[in-house]
C-alpha cells in the first residue's frame, strides 16, 4: 500500500519520494524472494502438498498478478487430484482399504458381492458414518439396506444380482478370472436413511469389482467430496418426501419436520397420504367425478392429475398436519411452496422452500 500510495503521488518526481519508492520496491522484492524460498523449502519437506500449492498459486495470481505462473500451479493441482483419485481407485481394486485416502477426502462404502453374503457392509469411511449418525462398528457386518429407506429394500438385492449377472455375461467368465485394471463407475443419485430414520440425499459413483478367484468380489460406492459437503451441510432449501405407489408417506428429510410440519409418527403411517396435505391437488381432485370408481381407478386418476398438473415446479399450498392418538387434523394455509413430482416405482416429492 505504501508503494502504490507513493506511485500515484503527483510529486513522485521529487527526489525524496523517489527514494521512498525505491526503498518500498526493494522491500517488496525481498519479501517476494523470501516467499519463493520458503515455498521451495516447503515443497522439499511436503512435496505436492495441495494446500501449500493452492495458497502459493493464489499469491501469484492475486498479489503478483502473474496469471501464467499461477495457472501452471493450478494445473498441477488438478494433476495431483487426478493422480490421487487414480491411486485411491487402485487401492480399492487391490482391496487395500487401509491405504485409502483419509475419510475427509474419500468417502466410500464397500459391500460384499458374494452370493452367500451379498449386500453385507465390509467397510466404510468415518465421514459417511458421521453423516448417517452411526459408528463404524454399528454398520460393519450389517446389510447395506440398514442405511436405505425401506421402500428400496425389495428392489436392491435384485439390482445387485442383475449387475453381477450382466458383468458375467459381458465378460464370458468360465473358470478364468478377467483382470480389471480400472473400475467402471456409474452415477447413482438417491437417498440413504439416517439412524433417526430421516432421508439423506446421496450422490455416489458405484462400481462392481469382481474377484471370484479369491472369492472376494465387492461393490464399492464412493461419494464425491463436493457432493458430500453439500449433503453434510444439510440442504435446507429443499425438502424430500418418499412415498409408496399409493402415495403413503414412507420417509422424508429432517428439514421436512419444520418446513412441512411432519414428524416421526408420519413415517410408514398408513393414513398419511401425501396428497391430503396439498391443497392444490385436493381442489383438482374434487372437480373429478369419482362416484362408483374402484380403488385402482381412483389411484390412476390421482396419478393422471399429478402428471398433468405437477410435472414442473408449481406453487402449492401445504396444509399443516397436527397428530394425536385419535385423529389427524389439517389446518389450511401452512406454507406457500414449490413442488416437483417424480413418479417411479418409488415416488419422490420434492418441495422447494
Q: How is 65-85 classified by DSSP, letter by letter?
A: --HHHHHHHHHHHHHHHHHHH
Q: Is the pLDDT reported for residue 142 higher than 90?
A: yes
- The verdict on 224 and 242 lying in the same domain is no
- Assess if residue 96 is contained within a domain: no
Between CA 326 and CA 306 the distance in angstroms is: 30
Q: Which of 119, 122, 91, 120 is nearest to 105 (CA)?
A: 91
Confidence label for 184 from pLDDT (cuts 50, 70 and 90) = confident
Mean pLDDT of 112-137: 88
Q: Is the pLDDT reported for residue 95 higher than 80?
A: no
- The verdict on 56 and 137 lying in the same domain is no
* Distance from the Cα of residue 244 to its chain's centroid: 23
- Assess if residue 116 is contained within a domain: yes
Q: What domain count does the chain have?
A: 3
User: What was the pLDDT predicted at 325?
Assistant: 45
- Assess if residue 120 is contained within a domain: yes
- The verdict on 208 and 274 lying in the same domain is no
5 CB contacts (<8 Å, ≥6 apart)? none
Identify the domain boundary among 215, 232, 249.
Answer: 232
Q: Is the pLDDT reported for residue 233 higher than 60?
A: no
Q: Which domain holds residue 78?
A: 2-85
DSSP state of 102: P
Confidence (pTM): 0.63
Classify burial at 89, counting beta carbons within 10 Å of its beta carbon; exposed 0-12, middle 13-18, buried 19 or more: buried
Buried b (16+ CB within 10 A) or exposed e, 97-125: beebbebebbbbbbbbbeeeebbbbbbbb
| CA dist list (Å): 345 to 151, 188, 210, 243, 302 | 9, 16, 29, 10, 15
The pLDDT > 90 percentage for the chain reads: 8
- Assess if residue 336 is contained within a domain: yes
Q: Which of 192, 190, 188 is nearest to 147 (CA)?
A: 192
Residue tagged 503478483 (cell numbers): 64
The CA-based dihedral angle spanning residues 289, 294, 296, 300, taken in that order and rounded to the nearest 10 degrees: -10
- The verdict on 119 and 177 lying in the same domain is yes
Confidence label for 303 from pLDDT (cuts 50, 70 and 90) = confident
Amino acid at each position: 500500500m505504501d508503494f502504490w500510495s507513493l506511485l500515484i503521488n503527483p510529486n513522485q518526481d521529487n527526489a525524496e519520494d523517489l527514494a521512498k519508492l525505491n526503498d518500498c520496491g526493494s522491500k517488496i522484492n525481498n519479501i517476494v524472494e523470501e516467499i519463493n524460498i520458503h515455498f521451495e523449502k516447503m515443497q522439499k519437506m511436503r512435496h505436492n502438498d495441495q494446500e501449500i500449492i493452492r495458497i502459493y498459486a493464489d499469491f501469484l495470481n492475486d498479489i503478483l498478478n502473474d496469471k501464467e505462473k499461477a495457472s501452471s500451479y493450478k494445473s498441477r493441482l488438478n494433476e495431483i487430484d487426478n493422480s490421487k483419485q487414480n491411486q485411491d481407485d487402485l487401492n480399492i481394486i487391490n482391496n487395500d482399504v487401509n491405504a485409502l485416502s483419509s475419510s475427509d477426502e474419500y468417502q466410500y462404502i464397500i459391500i460384499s458381492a458374494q452370493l452367500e453374503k451379498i449386500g453385507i457392509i465390509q467397510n466404510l469411511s468415518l465421514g459417511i458414518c458421521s453423516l448417517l449418525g452411526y459408528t463404524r462398528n454399528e454398520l460393519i457386518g450389517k446389510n447395506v439396506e440398514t442405511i436405505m429407506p425401506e421402500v428400496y429394500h425389495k428392489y436392491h438385492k435384485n439390482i445387485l444380482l442383475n449387475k453381477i449377472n450382466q458383468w458375467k455375461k459381458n465378460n464370458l467368465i468360465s473358470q478364468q478370472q478377467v483382470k480389471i485394471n480400472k473400475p467402471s463407475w456409474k452415477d447413482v443419485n438417491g437417498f440413504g436413511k439416517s439412524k433417526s430414520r430421516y432421508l439423506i440425499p446421496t450422490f455416489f459413483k458405484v462400481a462392481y469389482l469382481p474377484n471370484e478367484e479369491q472369492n472376494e468380489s465387492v461393490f464399492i460406492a464412493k461419494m464425491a467430496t463436493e457432493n458430500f459437503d453439500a449433503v453434510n451441510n444439510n440442504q435446507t432449501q429443499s425438502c424430500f418426501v418418499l412415498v409408496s405407489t399409493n402415495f403413503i408417506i414412507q420417509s422424508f428429510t429432517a428439514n421436512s419436520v419444520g418446513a412441512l410440519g411432519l414428524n416421526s409418527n408420519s413415517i410408514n403411517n398408513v393414513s398419511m397420504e401425501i396428497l391430503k396435505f396439498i391443497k392444490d391437488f385436493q381442489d383438482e381432485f374434487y372437480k373429478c367425478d369419482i362416484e362408483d370408481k374402484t380403488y385402482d381407478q381412483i389411484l390412476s386418476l390421482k396419478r393422471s392429475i399429478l402428471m398433468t398438473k405437477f410435472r414442473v415446479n408449481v406453487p402449492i399450498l401445504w396444509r399443516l398436519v397436527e397428530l394425536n392418538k385419535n385423529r389427524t387434523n389439517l389446518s389450511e394455509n401452512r406454507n406457500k411452496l414449490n413442488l416437483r413430482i417424480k413418479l417411479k416405482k418409488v415416488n419422490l416429492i420434492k418441495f422447494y422452500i
